[in-house]
Amino acid sequence: MAAYIFRRLLLIIPTLLGILTINFLIIQAAPGGPVEQTIAHLQGLNTDATSRIGSSVQSDLSQGSNSQSLNGESSGYRGAQGLDPKLIAEIEELYGFDKPPLERFGQMLKNYLMFDFGRSFYSDKGVVDLIIEKLPVSISLGLWATLITYLVSIPLGIKKAVRDGTPFDVWTSSAIIVGYAIPNFLFAILLIVLFAGGTYFDWFPLRGLTSPNFDELSLLGKIGDYFWHITLPVLASVISSFATLTMLTKNSFLDEISKQYVLTARAKGLTENQVLYGHVFRNAMLLIIAGMPAALVSIFFTGSMLIEVIFSLDGLGLLGYEAVINRDYPVIFGTLYIFTLIGLLLKLVSDICYVIVDPRIDFESREG
């Protein structure tokens, strides 16, 4: 097993390199990079977008805007006409675009080996600092959503397998399929209308994870306030998550229940619970374990961007969306690197869990 773990760890390096290379090429081909966006803001005299540019640059901007008759050199950027080429060159240097793409890519890889992900183009914060700042929100949302999904779906899937074809199985299948068909953001809006002062009841807060006076509350008050705020976002997140895991659990148990060893166990006089949880459970849970890395990654990078927007939760989903819209390359590549690495490591953890659950599985004998 040690040799297999070592091989898998070595494979992480080319996998990360390949993913970063493909995404770097795609990003370079996409129009509207940070230089173009800054030029557009400058043309619109948006001081927020130019707050990181020095007063000398602002002076150049003013001179270029007033004269509109510079030396005629073209910078190659759309919308850059009328701006001083020195200003364009300083913007390129600000964002690191004064170097060739290959050199920028090599420097990025060198920095990432040292876990130096740079600073955001627009928030003037380090990428790691931004992730740490947003992480508690996403952990709160993803952790509770994942925990509730597993606590409900696995027992429900087992019961559906045991009572396959009964009215209970039919009605629960209908309910979870309907829930799966409803987008979580629509369910979030429905919850707001019903329970957050939209039309009917005003039982839950509409935004944030804590109240403004959170620091003044007692320990029990803080716990109650936190759960009061997180209830609706978590419900909106889990509503569409039950179907896949529940049906996977049910089908896995049905497949195992029909095997010969189950009939043999029953013939020996074992009770149904002994058969179900002493023999079937361990084998049926192998497929469930295979899906755990994706569920664990969702704890850190939930992808619940719309949920975060609707409930005003400033988490990683919203951070990723804003980074793509603003072409904030350090944030895009930094988060991509971190969460790809986490995903690859958790995939290895899932393989180890396979061996723990069923010692008959031997990855050591696999080649490559």
Write the pLDDT tens digit of every residue in 155-171.
898 889 888 889 998 99
Which of 66, 86, 116 terminates a domain? The answer is 116
* Tens digit of each residue's pLDDT (9 = 90 or more) over 273-293: 888 887 788 778 777 776 676
47 in any annotated domain: yes
Contact criterion met (CB below 8 Å) for 118 and 330: yes
User: Cα angle vertex 31, ends 52, 97, to 5°?
Assistant: 45
22 in any annotated domain: no
- Distance in angstroms (rounded) separating the CA atoms of residues 157 and 149: 11
242 in any annotated domain: yes
Which range among 93-107, 120-134, 157-171, 216-230 shows the weakest confidence by mean pLDDT? 93-107
> What is the predicted pLDDT for the residue at 171?
92
- Count CB neighbours of 364 within 10 A: 11
Contact criterion met (CB below 8 Å) for 121 and 95: yes
Same domain, 111 and 248: no
Same domain, 187 and 324: yes
> What is the predicted pLDDT for the residue at 303?
53
> What is the predicted pLDDT for the residue at 93?
63
Contact criterion met (CB below 8 Å) for 236 and 185: yes
* Tens digit of each residue's pLDDT (9 = 90 or more) over 325-343: 877 888 888 888 888 888 7
Same domain, 307 and 240: yes
4 in any annotated domain: no
Average pLDDT score over residue span 56-63: 43
Angle formed by the axes of helices 329-357 and 127-162, nearest 10°: 40
12 in any annotated domain: no
Which of 67, 95, 116 terminates a domain? The answer is 116
Same domain, 97 and 64: yes
Average pLDDT score over residue span 208-233: 85
Give residue 356's domain range: 128-365
15 in any annotated domain: no
* Local confidence band at 198 (pLDDT 50, 70, 90 cut-offs): low
* Local confidence band at 69 (pLDDT 50, 70, 90 cut-offs): very low
Write down the mean pLDDT value for the chain: 76
Same domain, 216 and 356: yes
* Local confidence band at 96 (pLDDT 50, 70, 90 cut-offs): low
- Count CB neighbours of 30 within 10 A: 10
Same domain, 73 and 155: no
220 in any annotated domain: yes
DSSP at 126: B
- pLDDT above 90 as % of the chain: 1
> What is the predicted pLDDT for the residue at 240?
76
- Distance in angstroms (rounded) separating the CA atoms of residues 64 and 334: 35
Same domain, 207 and 329: yes
Same domain, 307 and 352: yes
CATH code of the domain containing 295:
1.10.3720.10
Same domain, 195 and 318: yes
Residue 51 predicted with pLDDT over 70: no
> What is the predicted pLDDT for the residue at 78?
55
> What is the predicted pLDDT for the residue at 34?
67
Residue 60 predicted with pLDDT over 50: no
- Distance in angstroms (rounded) separating the CA atoms of residues 255 and 276: 12
Same domain, 173 and 215: yes
- Of 177, 159, 155, whose CA–CA distance to 168 is shortest? 159
Helix, strand, or coil (residue 100): coil
Q: Model's pTM, two decimal places?
A: 0.71
Q: DSSP string covering 196-260, please?
A: BSSSS-B-S-SS-SS-TTGGGS-HHHHHHHHHHHHHHHHHHHHTTTHHHHHHHHHHHHHHHHTSH
* Local confidence band at 368 (pLDDT 50, 70, 90 cut-offs): very low
Same domain, 318 and 208: yes
Residue 42 predicted with pLDDT over 50: yes
Exposed/middle/buried for residue 196 (C-beta within 10 Å: 0-12, 13-18, 19+): buried
Which range among 40-49, 134-143, 190-199, 275-284 shows the weakest confidence by mean pLDDT? 40-49
Total domains present in the chain: 2
Same domain, 167 and 139: yes
1 in any annotated domain: no
